[in-house]
Amino acid sequence: MGAILMGGFPILSAMLLVPLVAGIACFFLEAHAARLTALAATLANLALGIVLWANYDIGGAQWQFVEQAPLFAGFNYALGIDGIALMLIMLSVFLMPICILASWEAISKRVGEYMAAFLIMEVLMIGVFAAQDLFLFYIFFEAGLIPMYLIIGVWGGDNRIYASYKFFLYTLLGSVLMLIAMFWMVNEAGTSDIPTLMQYDFPAAAQTWLWLAFFASFAVKMPMWPVHTWLPDAHVQAPTAGSVILAGVLLKLGGYGFIRFSLPMFPEASAQFAWLVFGLSMIAVIYTSLVALVQHDMKKLIAYSSVAHMAIVTAGLFAFNVQGLEGAMMVMLGHGLVSGALFLCVGVIYDRLHTREIDRYGGLSINMPKYALFFMLFSMASVGLPGTSNFIGEFLALAGVYKVSTTVTLVLTTGIILGAAYMLYLYRRVAFGVQKNADAAAMTDLNAREWAMLAPIAAAVLWMGVYPESFLAPMRADIAALEVRLARAAPAGDSMLEIGTPSGTNANAMPELEHDNTGEGAH
Amino acid sequence: MNLISSLYFSAPEIFLIISGLVLLLVAAFGGDKTARTVTILAVAALFGAAVYTTDLLTNPAYELGGEAWAGIYRMDSFGSFAKILIYLAAIGSLIVTPKFFAENGGYRPEYAILVLFSSVGMALMVSAVNLMTLYMGLELMSLSSYVLASFSRSDNRSAEAGLKYFVLGALASGILLYGMSLLYGFTGSTSYLGIRLALQGGLSMGATFGIVLILAGLAFKIAAVPFHMWTPDVYEGAPTPVSAFFSTAPKVAAVAILMRISLDTFGEHTLAWQQIVIFAALASIVVGALGAIGQDNIKRLLAYSSINNVGFILIGLAAATPAGASGMLVYLTIYVAMSLGSFVAVMMLKDAQGSQIEKISSMAGMVREKPLLAWCIFFLMLSLAGIPPLFGFYGKFVVFQAAVQADMVALAAIGIAASVIGAFYYLKICKVIMFDDPAGEVVGDTTTSNWAVLLICSLIISPLGWLLTKPLVELADKAASSLFFVI
C-alpha cells in the first residue's frame, strides 16, 4: 500500500535532501535567518516523517520505500526501511526541531555553522537508519563524527577540547575494525546488500571474529561499560541540544547496529557472546547507577543514567526472544525521548543560572511550578513508572531476559531500583526543599518556546506509555522474523518456564459456597 | 615496432622535451622578465601532453598498448594513467608558483623549465620497460628536483633542503644502480621482460639481493620508512610550491615504477618482496603518524602525512592483486588532490607583512577571519585522515578492501587501527583552526590562481568526489590490468 500511495516518490532521499540543502544554506546565512531556515527544514522533515509513517504498510513487505541508484563504484546507493528503522527515523525527525528550538537563544556565536552542523547531523542519522548497503551504512555511521566533533568542540563548555578529542578518537577506533570485518563479509557473501546479508549464513568460526569487530564499534557507540567513559565527558561539554541529539539518537546507533547486524548476521556468535553482553550489562547497570547517585553535575548524572538504560537494552537484545527484542526497541525509543527531555530540562535552568551544579538549585517547584511538573514527569518516566514510555520497554526487556536467566534479571531489576533512587534524589534536591539560593529562587517559569519544546515530548512519553501498540505494531513482523532467524542459536534459559493448564474457572471466581452458614464464625 | 608507432606512442614526452628546449632558449634570450610567460607556456605544454595521453588511455584502439623504441619504452594504460596524474600535478603546482615567488622575489623562468624536464623524467620512468631507461628517467627527474629544492637562493633553509636531498638522493640512486647491476649480472638482461623470463627458473641469492636493493632505492624515492628521513627537512626547507610538487608528481611516478617492477618484472616472485612491502607499509603508517604529532610546522606535518599516506598506498601493493594495484591508483589520484590542496592552502596563509605562516599555532581560530580557507583546510585534513564522507576515505576503502580480498586481514586490521593514530594530529590542526581563540595573524590571500587550485582540490575531496568513483575505478582497473598480463 505504501509504495502505491507514494507513487514512486523517493521520500527517503527527500528526507536526506531537505536538511542537506538547508544545512548548506545555513552556512551562508545570518544568525536569525539560519535559525528560521533550520527550524523550517526540520519541521518539513518531521512532516515528511509523518507522511512516511502514515504510508508505512504494517504487515506488508519487510522492506518498504526501497530506492536504488548505481551511483558509486564498489557499493550502491540503496535506501529502504523496515519497522525498526521507521521508528528510529521518527525519533530523529521528532527530536530535531526541538533541538533547534533549544538552541534558539542559548547559541549566540557562529549560529549559521551551528545550525548547519545540526542539519547535516540529521541527514546522517536518517541515512544510517535508511541505508540498505553495508558501506553506505558505514559512511553515514562514521560521518556523524565530524558534525558532532564540531558541535562539542566549538559550542561546548570549558573542557570541550578534551571531550571532543575523546569522543572522536574513541568512536573512530571502535569503528575502523568494523570496516575490515565488512570487507571480509562482502568478499565472502559477494554482495553488500544488507537484506541479503541478514539471511546469509557465515561460517561459525568466522562469525566469532566478525562479531567482535562489530561489537568493538557498537559497544563504544552504545556505550557499554567499560568503554562508556567518553559519554559523560561529551555530554557535559556539549551544548544542550548536542546532548539531546547525542542521548536521543546517537546512542541508538549502537543498539540499531546490534539488532540490524550482529544478531541477524551472526546468530551463533551472538549466542556465544551473550554471556559477555549480559555480564557487561549487569556491571553497567549497577556500577553506573551508583556513580550517578553521587554526581554533583546534573548532566553527568543523566549521562550515567543513560549508560544504565542502554545496558538494559543490550541485555534485552541478547535475550533472543520477542519480549527482549521488543523491550529493547521500546527502551531505546523511550529513552530517546526521556533522556532528551531531561537534558532539555537541565538546559532550561542552565540558560537561566549558567551552572549545572545540583547544589546551586533547590525549591524550584515554588517559583517554577510548571517546570517542576515537566521535570517530575520525565524523572518518573526515567524511573520507569507505569503509564510512561520507559515502563513498557523495561518491563518487556526484563520479561525477555527472565526467560533466559533469572540471575541477570535480578541484577538488572536492582539497577532499576537504584535508578529510582538517583532520579528521585536528583528531583528532591532540585525541585523540593527550601529555596536556599536567592538567584535560583528568582528564576522565571517556562516561556512559550520552552513549552513548545517540552510539551510534545511529554505527550509522546504518555502516548507510548498508555498505548504502546502504535509503536509496537510496525516493528512486530520484523522482530518476529528476527526471532525466527535467531531460533537456531537461542540459549536454553534457566527459568524453566512451563505453561500450565488453565484451571477452567476464573482466578477470582467465587468458590461454590454451600448455603448453610454453619461454618460461619467457627474460625 | 617501427619508427612511426614509436614516435606516436612517445609523442607526449618528445613534445615536452622540445617545449622545454624551446622555452630554455626563450629564457636565455628573454631573461628573467619572461618568467611568467614561460610558466604559462609550460602549463600549456603539460596540458597538451595530458590531453594527448588521455586519448591514448581511453581510445579503444590502444587497449593493448604497444612497445616503442626497440622495447625500451612501453605505452600502456598503466603508464598513461600515471602520466596524466603526473602532468596534472605538475600543472597544479606550476599554476600557484609565480605569485609565490613574485612576493618573495627571485622568480626565474628556469623554474617552469625544470618542472617540465622533471615531468618528462617521470613520464619516462613510468613508461620504461628497461632498467636503463628507468634509470635515465629517474635521474632526469632527480637532478631537476635537487635544483628545484634549492630554488630560493637567498634562503638558507632552501639551500640546505637542496643539499640534503642531493646527498641522500645520490646515495639512493647508487643503491638502486647497484641492485640493477646485480640483477643484470644474474639474469643477463636489462629489459623487464628479459628479467622476468630469466627469473622463471627461480631466484638465485644474487638476484634476491638485486630485488632488495632496487626496492630500497625506490623506497627512498617514495619516502617510505625506513628511507624517509629526508622528507620532513626537504619539504620544510623547499619553497612551498616546490613542496607541493614534490609531494605529488614524483610520488606518483615513484609509486608507479615500484608497482611496475614489483608486479610485472618480479610478478612471479611475490613472496620475495611482499614481506618487505608489508613492513614498509606498516612502518610508514606508524612512523608517519607518530612523527607528525609533535610538529608545530605545518609543512613538516604535511611531510609526515605524506609518509603516512605512502604506507596506506603500499598496503595495496602488499596485496599483489589487480584489485590492489587498482586501489593504489585510485588512492594516488585522491592523494594528489588532497596533498596539492593542502600545500596550496598552506601557501595562502599569509600574515600582515605578506610573509608566509608556517607555525600551526599561528593559525589559531582562523575560521573567524578567513572562514572559507579555514573550512577548506578543515575538510582537507579530515580527508587526509580518511574520515567519511570525505573522498579521502575512498582511497583507504579500496586499498583495504583489496588487502582483505587477498586474505591479508591481519595486515588490514593493524593498518587501519594505526590510522587512528594519524587521525589524532589531523584533528589537532582542525582543533587549532576551528576551536581556539583567534590569534589574528592570518590575513589570507586573494590570488585567483591559488583559490582556483584550492577550490578544485577541495571539490574533489568533498562528498561530491564520490560521483567520480565509477569512471575513476573503471580507468584504474583498466590500468592495473595491464600490469598483470600473462606471458
Task: Kindly state whether B345 is in contact with chain A, defined as any CB-CB distance less than 8 angstroms.
Answer: no
Interchain pair B388, A139: CB under 8 A:
yes
The per-residue pLDDT for range A30-40, each reduced to its tens digit, is 888 999 999 99
Average confidence (pLDDT) over A160-185? 88
Closest-CA distance, B98 to chain A, in angstroms, reads 32
Cell numbers describing residue A110: 557562529
Query: Angle, nearest 10°, between helix axes A134-143 and A111-130?
Result: 160
Closest-CA distance, B361 to chain A, in angstroms, reads 15
Task: Kindly state whether A172 is in contact with chain B, defined as any CB-CB distance less than 8 angstroms.
Answer: yes
Cβ A240 vs Cβ A347: under 8 Å:
yes
Task: Kindly state whether A149 is in contact with chain B, defined as any CB-CB distance less than 8 angstroms.
Answer: yes
Q: At residue A522, does pLDDT exceed 50?
A: no
| A–B CB contacts, 8 A cutoff, strictly below | 86
Average confidence (pLDDT) over B384-389? 90
Chain A residues with beta carbon closer than 8 angstroms to that of B389: 139-140, 143
Nearest to A142 among B387, B419, B467 (CB): B387
Distance of CA A70 to the CA centre of its chain: 32
Interchain pair A161, B435: CB under 8 A:
yes
Chain B residues with beta carbon closer than 8 angstroms to that of A186: 401
- Give the per-residue SS3 of A326-372: HHHHHHHHHHHHHHHHHHHHHHHHHHHHCCCEHHHCCCHHHHCHHHH
Closest-CA distance, A188 to chain B, in angstroms, reads 9
The per-residue pLDDT for range B175-199, each reduced to its tens digit, is 999 999 999 999 999 999 999 999 8
Nearest to B427 among A72, A154, A165 (CB): A165
Q: What angle do CA A48, A138, B306 make, to 5 degrees?
A: 130
pLDDT at B180: 94
- What is the DSSP code (8-state) at residue A224? P
**Spatial distance between the Cα atoms of A159 and B248, rounded to a whole number of angstroms:** 38
Task: Kindly state whether A142 is in contact with chain B, defined as any CB-CB distance less than 8 angstroms.
Answer: yes
Which residue, among A161, A179, A182, would best test binding to B if mutated, counting the most B CBs under 10 Å from its CB? A179
Q: Which residues contact A263 (CB under 8 A, 6 or more apart)?
A: A270, A317, A318, A482, A485, A486
pLDDT at A514: 57
Cβ B100 vs Cβ B33: under 8 Å:
no
* Mean pLDDT lowest among A115-124, A154-163, B71-80: A154-163
Interchain pair B397, A160: CB under 8 A:
no
A-contacting residues in B 434-453 (Cβ below 8 Å): 434-435
Task: Kindly state whether A71 is in contact with chain B, defined as any CB-CB distance less than 8 angstroms.
Answer: yes
Q: Which residues contact A49 (CB under 8 A, 6 or more apart)?
A: A15, A89, A90, A93, A94
Nearest to B434 among A140, A154, A186 (CB): A154
Q: At residue A489, does pLDDT exceed 50?
A: yes
Give the position of cell 630560493: B152
The per-residue pLDDT for range A236-272, each reduced to its tens digit, is 888 888 888 888 888 889 899 999 999 999 999 998 8
Nearest to B427 among A168, A183, A187 (CB): A168
Q: Which residues contact B99 (CB under 8 A, 6 or more apart)?
A: B447, B449, B450
Interchain pair A74, B400: CB under 8 A:
no
Torsion, Cα B294 B299 B300 B306, to 10 degrees, reads: 110
How far, CA to CA in Å, does B97 sit from each of B40, B163, B463? Answer: 11, 22, 28
Closest-CA distance, B245 to chain A, in angstroms, reads 29
pLDDT at A3: 43
Average confidence (pLDDT) over B450-457? 92
Interchain pair B405, A71: CB under 8 A:
no
Q: At residue B167, does pLDDT exceed 90?
A: yes
Interchain pair B420, A142: CB under 8 A:
no
The band of A228, judged by pLDDT with boundaries at 50, 70 and 90, is confident
Q: At residue A226, does pLDDT exceed 90?
A: no
**Spatial distance between the Cα atoms of B363 and B345, rounded to a whole number of angstroms:** 12
* ipTM attached to this prediction: 0.92
Task: Kindly state whether A153 is in contact with chain B, defined as any CB-CB distance less than 8 angstroms.
Answer: yes
Chain B residues with beta carbon closer than 8 angstroms to that of A154: 434-435
The band of A459, judged by pLDDT with boundaries at 50, 70 and 90, is very high
Cβ A318 vs Cβ A269: under 8 Å:
no
**H or E stretch including B376?**
helix B371-385
- What is the DSSP code (8-state) at residue A16? H
Q: What is the mean pLDDT of chain B?
A: 90
The per-residue pLDDT for range B285-316, each reduced to its tens digit, is 999 999 998 888 999 999 999 999 999 999 99
pLDDT at A5: 43
Peptide bond into B226 cis (omega under 30): yes
Output phi, psi for A193, to 5 deg.
-80, 120
Which residue, among A137, A150, A180, A186, would best test binding to B if mutated, counting the most B CBs under 10 Å from its CB? A180
Chain A residues with beta carbon closer than 8 angstroms to that of B401: 74, 183, 186-187
Higher pLDDT, A363 or A411: A411
Q: At residue A382, does pLDDT exceed 50?
A: yes
Closest-CA distance, B252 to chain A, in angstroms, reads 22
pLDDT at B64: 79
Nearest CA in chain B to A154: B435
Higher pLDDT, B443 or A401: A401
Closest-CA distance, B389 to chain A, in angstroms, reads 5
SS3 A68: strand
Higher pLDDT, B17 or B67: B17
Interchain pair A179, B400: CB under 8 A:
yes
pLDDT at B398: 93
Cβ A345 vs Cβ A455: under 8 Å:
no
Give the position of cell 580507468: B475
Q: Tell which residue, B279, B9, B281, B8, has the closest CA to residue B129.
A: B9
Separation of first and last alpha carbons in chain A:
67
Give the position of cell 535467531: A486
Task: Give me the DSSP letters along A119-179.
Answer: HHHHHHHHHHHHB-BHHHHHHHHHHTHHHHHHHHHHHS-TTHHHHHHHHHHHHHHHHHHHH
Chain A residues with beta carbon closer than 8 angstroms to that of B411: none
The band of B447, judged by pLDDT with boundaries at 50, 70 and 90, is confident
pLDDT at A517: 54
Q: What angle do CA B11, B57, A190 make, to 5 degrees?
A: 160
Q: At residue B146, does pLDDT exceed 90?
A: yes
Average confidence (pLDDT) over B472-482? 92
The per-residue pLDDT for range A173-206, each reduced to its tens digit, is 888 889 999 999 999 998 889 999 988 888 988 9
The sign one gets for the Cα dihedral B349, B352, B358, B360 is negative
Cβ B345 vs Cβ B377: under 8 Å:
yes
Give the position of cell 547525542: A246
Interchain pair A179, B470: CB under 8 A:
no
- What is the DSSP code (8-state) at residue A261? I
SS3 A244: helix
Which residue, among B398, B427, B459, would best test binding to A if mutated, counting the most A CBs under 10 Å from its CB? B427
The per-residue pLDDT for range A319-337, each reduced to its tens digit, is 888 999 999 999 999 999 9
Task: Kindly state whether B257 is in contact with chain A, defined as any CB-CB distance less than 8 angstroms.
Answer: no
Give the position of cell 609523442: B11
**Spatial distance between the Cα atoms of B329 and B331, rounded to a whole number of angstroms:** 5
Closest-CA distance, A208 to chain B, in angstroms, reads 14
Nearest to B397 among A74, A172, A184 (CB): A74
Closest-CA distance, A141 to chain B, in angstroms, reads 9
Closest-CA distance, A113 to chain B, in angstroms, reads 10
- What is the C-alpha radius of gyration for chain A, rounded to an integer number of angstroms? 24
Give the position of cell 556500577: A287
Task: Kindly state whether B416 is in contact with chain A, defined as any CB-CB distance less than 8 angstroms.
Answer: yes
**Spatial distance between the Cα atoms of A35 and A111, rounded to a whole number of angstroms:** 7
Task: Kindly state whether B393 is in contact with chain A, defined as any CB-CB distance less than 8 angstroms.
Answer: yes
Distance of CA B382 to the CA centre of its chain: 20
**Spatial distance between the Cα atoms of A485 and A212, rounded to a whole number of angstroms:** 20
Closest-CA distance, B405 to chain A, in angstroms, reads 6
